[in-house]
Amino acid sequence: MLGIGDDCAIYRPRGSKEDLLFTTDLFLEDVHFRRSTHGAKDAGRVAMCRSLSDIAAMGGEPRFALVSLSVPGWADDRWVRSFFESLTSAASAAGAVLAGGDLATSEKLACDVTVCGAVPRGSALRRDGARPGHAIYVSGALGGSALGLQTGAGRAWKRHVNPEPRLALGRYLRSKAGASAAMDISDGLSLDLQRLCLASGVAADITDPPVFLGASPEQALHGGEEYELVFTVPAEARIPKHYQGLALTRIGQITDGPAGLIRHNGKTLAARGHDHFQDSCQRM
Amino acid sequence: MLGIGDDCAIYRPRGSKEDLLFTTDLFLEDVHFRRSTHGAKDAGRVAMCRSLSDIAAMGGEPRFALVSLSVPGWADDRWVRSFFESLTSAASAAGAVLAGGDLATSEKLACDVTVCGAVPRGSALRRDGARPGHAIYVSGALGGSALGLQTGAGRAWKRHVNPEPRLALGRYLRSKAGASAAMDISDGLSLDLQRLCLASGVAADITDPPVFLGASPEQALHGGEEYELVFTVPAEARIPKHYQGLALTRIGQITDGPAGLIRHNGKTLAARGHDHFQDSCQRM
């Protein structure tokens, strides 16, 4: 039903009332984490949450996960067991079982996590449904993960290594709130909102997003690995200020400007979020 | 329906007449291939065929693939494009579309391929259906891939870098031949047949398998990356000598001995096939 270019691919099994969502995310040593700063538990949790967040962004219920892991020499049995336990318990907490995978050895740790989620047929939240006049919202406060990576300590670091996939919010947006488009903020609001706008063929006008305590406005606009959701709703939709304790903040609206153009407080915003393929070291 | 321990995990979508098969396989530089010996096209093809072969082993029809790729500095755009084209065309030839993936950069190439296949509900060929008295067969001739890795030239090398997932044979075994169990020979006949016997709780008596021209009996018994199928059928089943030009050879029978015990020409056979997790360098 849907291939490359959204948070998940969508597959419609023959005769089923459900669509299945699939996402796969790499988690690489010295690209996505460092052994010197990330414990085994942190690493395992983050590896799983990256994919769960993509399922959340489309409003899905996680069903199962496949994990490919290549173990480096420095990781002893205890480290690997702890990594796997943490990864598995993050999956379980989200309702997914570990259904299979592959194992190898290599110099650096490489982990690839595939997660399958499900939504009622035809109901997945996609990136391409935003229309001029729709309001733009974000969940939570942004910039905490980038701040944590910078300081390596305190609440912001905890935020960095304890991402929370917004699964309940995603389901709410899909089934109750009438959201027209959504995605998760994995590479920074500026870049991810631009992707949403490109997929929808629209532009956006935004103000300042809510900022995580201590983070800079720049970190809030461009910092990656937030795993909050950015979503759009028709102008008449009523969105509560909080959902299950999580703030939902209106940051602007979709316009009919050139596709992908983001204006921030009236000025064109350069998408400076993280793009692994262009610069794998930007975040480290 | 089925988790870790077979060629694929099995997922039954609600209300669907199909079961979905999922497999994921890592393809790592200096573990599964070397840039000095494998061209981009060879590497791409092998990376995809590893997973397609798992779908074949369960009698499935490939539907879609997800590919996570971490690109090293040495691989220029042309190399990456050629790798991807080869991988994608191997998928297309098998009926699967590339539906998504992830991209990153790293020091060494790491690729993880997830393939989804489908079978009519409840019909997947599994490892656990072999019973005492069932006949054991293999497709093709074994040892060619191991010989190719050793010599790096000639027909055997072509065999090594041109694996053929036995998709048509797998579907035939599932739908027509009444096979009771099957798996693909990715880590060597001795190790893979032992896995099949352990899953089924049975033992096996075998003679010499058919040997690829120029390969040693040892390479035929223990060589990995063959991607032929080993399968069992009830004693009364009639299996043709060839299926679409591919030899099908009876090599022995299942017995009620200790689970996993393989006897070869009357002597206990040590499973010496390749196990990545125990020794990633064995094959290189």
Residues 6+ apart with CB under 8 A from A6: A58, A126, A127, A128, A183, A199
Per-residue model confidence (pLDDT) at position B264: 97
Structural domain contains residue B219: yes
**Nearest of B104, B30, B20 to residue A107 by alpha carbon:** B30
Inspect the interface and report whether the beta carbons of A4 and B100 lie closer than 8 Å.
yes
Instruction: Give the SS3 label for residue B103.
Output: strand
B71 neighbourhood in chain A, CB within 8 Å = 277
- Residue A276 scores a pLDDT above 90: no
Predicted complex ipTM exceeds 0.90: no
H-type helices in chain B, by residue range?
A: 40-57, 77-93, 144-151, 154-161, 167-175, 189-200, 217-222
Per-residue model confidence (pLDDT) at position B15: 85
Tell me the CB-side half-sphere exposure of residue B235, using CA atoms within 13 A.
6
Report angle CA A190, A27, A53 to the nearest 5 degrees.
Answer: 55
Q: Are residues B151 and B254 in the same domain?
A: yes
Inspect the interface and report whether the beta carbons of A276 and B30 lie closer than 8 Å.
no
For residue A139, the one-letter residue type is S
Q: Are residues A259 and A146 in the same domain?
A: yes
Q: Are residues A109 and A158 in the same domain?
A: no
Looking up tokens 């060494």, which residue turns up?
B108
CATH number of residue B23's parent domain: 3.30.1330.10
B11 neighbourhood in chain A, CB within 8 Å = 63-64, 99, 116
Structural domain contains residue B278: no
User: In the listed set A93, A120, A147, which residue is the last one of a domain according to the structure?
Assistant: A120
Structural domain contains residue B221: yes
Q: Are residues A259 and A155 in the same domain?
A: yes
B16 touches chain A (CB under 8 A): yes
How many CB atoms are closer than 10 A to CB B204? Answer: 27
Q: Are strands B203-206 and B246-255 parallel, antiparallel or unpaired?
A: antiparallel
Partner residue opposite B13 with nearest CB, options A18, A31, A99: A18
Looking up tokens 């899905």, which residue turns up?
A60
Residue range A267-278: mean pLDDT, rounded: 67
- Please report the residues numbered 18 through 47 in chain A whose beta carbons come closer than 8 angstroms to any beta carbon of chain B: 18, 20, 22-26, 28, 30-32
- Residue B127 scores a pLDDT above 50: yes
Per-residue model confidence (pLDDT) at position B274: 57
How many CB atoms are closer than 10 A to CB B243? Answer: 17
B116 neighbourhood in chain A, CB within 8 Å = 11, 22
- Residue A283 scores a pLDDT above 70: no
Minimal-distance CA residue of chain B relative to A15:
B16
Q: Are residues A48 and A94 in the same domain?
A: yes
Q: Are residues A76 and A149 in the same domain?
A: no
Structural domain contains residue B190: yes
For the stretch A32-67, pLDDT in tens is: 999 988 999 999 999 999 999 999 999 999 999 999
State phi, psi for A83 to the nearest 5 degrees. -60, -50
Residue range A20-28: mean pLDDT, rounded: 94
CA distance to partner chain A, nearest, from residue B225 (Å) = 15
Minimal-distance CA residue of chain A relative to B51:
A102
Structural domain contains residue A127: no
Distance, CA of B24 to chain centre: 12
Say how many residues make up chain A.
284
Partner residue opposite A104 with nearest CB, options B14, B23, B28: B28
- Which residue range is the domain that position A50 belongs to? 9-120
A14 neighbourhood in chain B, CB within 8 Å = 16-18, 118
A20 neighbourhood in chain B, CB within 8 Å = 13, 20
For the stretch A139-159, pLDDT in tens is: 999 999 999 999 998 999 999
CATH number of residue A154's parent domain: 3.90.650.10
How far is Cα B92 from Cα B201, in angstroms, rounded to an integer? 37
Structural domain contains residue B112: yes
Inspect the interface and report whether the beta carbons of B116 and A11 lie closer than 8 Å.
yes
For the stretch B181-235, pLDDT in tens is: 999 999 999 999 999 999 999 999 999 999 999 999 999 999 999 999 999 999 9
Structural domain contains residue A214: yes
Partner residue opposite B114 with nearest CB, options A30, A66, A103: A66
How far is Cα A279 from Cα B23, in angstroms, rounded to an integer? 30
Q: Are residues B161 and B111 in the same domain?
A: no
- Residue A277 scores a pLDDT above 80: no
Q: Are residues B68 and B165 in the same domain?
A: no
Q: Are residues A150 and A245 in the same domain?
A: yes
Per-residue model confidence (pLDDT) at position B2: 72
How many CB atoms are closer than 10 A to CB A220? Answer: 24
Percent of chain B with pLDDT over 70: 95
- Please report the residues numbered 223 through 282 in chain A whose beta carbons come closer than 8 angstroms to any beta carbon of chain B: 276-277, 280
Structural domain contains residue A4: no
B76 touches chain A (CB under 8 A): no
Q: Are residues B47 and B102 in the same domain?
A: yes
Q: Are residues A87 and A182 in the same domain?
A: no
| Total domain count, chain A | 2
User: In the listed set B56, B91, B120, which residue is the last one of a domain according to the structure?
Assistant: B120
A118 neighbourhood in chain B, CB within 8 Å = 13-14
Q: Are residues A13 and A87 in the same domain?
A: yes
